[in-house]
Structure formats: structure tokens, C-alpha cells
A and B are shown apart, each in its own frame.
Chain A
């Protein structure tokens, strides 16, 4: 069964606009962590933001924020004020249990920012 689901097709977003990338997850473990990574065309994986299952507040990192809805098992990434350099694949990932376990990735969301 899929642990992480990202189903949106490729998205085009106007520069300076906000974009929301959907991610739903499936786990029965009460302790887990949710991550978003950015993969530009050059191929490297860049960490963006983290949300722990027990965190009360939604995580924010600069222009990135995570809309964490625990009851719905969703962890959507919001990128505000999009820039041309935000064009990339974005992957949602989950770690179940303790901090050193494997990450399970979704299939990714393609974002293209247009001027």
C-alpha cells in the first residue's frame, strides 16, 4: 500500500503567486515525521521543511509552510511568492517511528514557475 500519495499533475504557477502541493499519508504509527524535498533538474535532493506528528504548530521555513491536518492525514506544502528558481519536482516523504528510520517518498509534484 502507498504510504505517501501525491496525485497532482504538473502545475504551472505565475511568478510571485502562491502554490499548494498536496500530500496525503498513511500510517498507524503515532510517532512519525513528514518531510518535503525539492529536486531541481540538476537532480540533487534539497531538504525544505519538516513536521513532526506531535508538533502543535504548522512548520514554516521562509517561503515554505506546511499545512498539517493530522485527522485528514495530509501535509500540504505551500510555497508563497513563487520564484523562477522554484521550478522543480517536489517530493513529500514520511519517516515512521524514531528519527533514524527510512524515508518513504511519494511520486512527486512537478512545478513550473512562469514569468
Chain B
């Protein structure tokens, strides 16, 4: 069964460094998302992406964040200058975008630790 994949599974970085989190959505899906979950807290929406542009973003998604679909398969989240409070699990999700009901399929997550 097709699934969303994410790499790396765990990333450790120093404060102020740039990180790129990678996702491969399910191949025929049209909508892509990034969410994050700070340890012990709820899952929070960051950004959605459709037709090669951002369709919606939350207040968390400030100028330090960017997303890109550099080719036909990858979907990336870049954090330009990481802060301690960026430490979280980052989930990528995708949905087919073809009906009024669209389950969002989540990847396994990337755990980001900022030291």
C-alpha cells in the first residue's frame, strides 16, 4: 500500500543552523501539508501546498520557514535559522484532493532536536 515517507527520522542540529526536512508524498496525491508536534502537545498545522504554491499557512509558519517541491516527488520543509523552540516532531501529510472527503495520510515523522 502506498505511504508517505519522511527523511531523516531524527535530526539533531545546533541553534542557528538551517535544516531541511524531506518528504515523499503518495504519488498521485495533489495536496501536501506540514504539521508539527512539540513533545507532549497536540499536533499543529504549519502549511498546506497545492499546485506548486502555498495554499494556506498558520501563524507559526513565519519567515524562517519555507516549503518547496523541487521535483515531481519530494516535498521539503526548510527552517532557515533554527531555534530551541523548533524542537518537535514534524509530520508531512498528503491527500488525493479529489472528493469532499479527503483523508490526510501522514508520514512517520522527523524528530528535530535543536541544541
How distant is the Cα of A50 from the Cα of B104 in the complex, in angstroms? 11
| Complex interface: chain B residues within 8 A of A64 (CB) | none
Within 8 A of B (CB), among A37-56: 37, 42-47, 50, 52
- Binding-face segment, B41-49, B66-74, B79-87: B41-49
Which of A35, A45, A99 contacts B99 (CB under 8 A)?
Answer: A99
Count of residues in A whose CB is under 8 Å from the partner chain:
25
Whether B33 sits at the interface, judged by CB under 8 Å, is yes
| Complex interface: chain A residues within 8 A of B22 (CB) | none
How distant is the Cα of A35 from the Cα of B101 in the complex, in angstroms? 11
Count of residues in B whose CB is under 8 Å from the partner chain:
31
| Complex interface: chain B residues within 8 A of A45 (CB) | 43, 91, 93, 106, 109
| Complex interface: chain B residues within 8 A of A93 (CB) | 43
A44 and B109 contact, Cβ closer than 8 Å, known pairs A99-B99, A102-B56: yes
| Complex interface: chain A residues within 8 A of B30 (CB) | 100
- 0/1 string, B36-61, CB within 8 A of A gives 1: 00000111110010100001101000
- 0/1 string, B88-109, CB within 8 A of A gives 1: 0101010101011111111111
Which of B42, B44, B97, B109 contacts A100 (CB under 8 A)?
Answer: B97
- Seen from chain A, the residues whose Cβ lies within 8 Å of a Cβ on chain B are 31, 33, 35, 37, 42-47, 50, 52, 91, 93, 98-108
